[in-house]
Amino acid sequence: MREEPTIRIPLGILGLLFALMMYGIAVAMIVPDYIGHWHTLVQTLIYLILGLIWLLPLRRFLIWMETGSWSAPEEDE
């Protein structure tokens, strides 16, 4: 655990907000052209998947914000 505050956390939060905003705009602009004529339940499933897919890299990103490393630190027993 870190002892002193670092600039990684505020930069990480700003980067995360920017990346999520760009991802949301991209999904809102691109996806309806392809799936707009599909059945509503299929569209719902696609948007649900796209709404959750951004969570995949989040763990490593939060680890980086806290430790400065992209992988989880080894636990001391």
> Burial code of 18-32, b = ≥16 C-beta within 10 A, e = fewer?
eeeeeeeeebeeeee
Residue extents of the structural domains in the chain: 8-66
Positive or negative, the CA dihedral 9, 59, 75, 70 is negative
pLDDT tens-digit series, residues 33-71: 999 999 999 999 999 999 999 888 888 888 888 888 877
Model-wide pTM > 0.85: no
Q: Is residue 19 pLDDT above 90, yes or no? A: yes
pLDDT for res 2: 64
> In sequence order, what are the residues at sequence separation of 6 or more whose Cβ sits closer than 8 angstroms to the Cβ of residue 68?
6, 8
5 or 42, which is more confident: 42
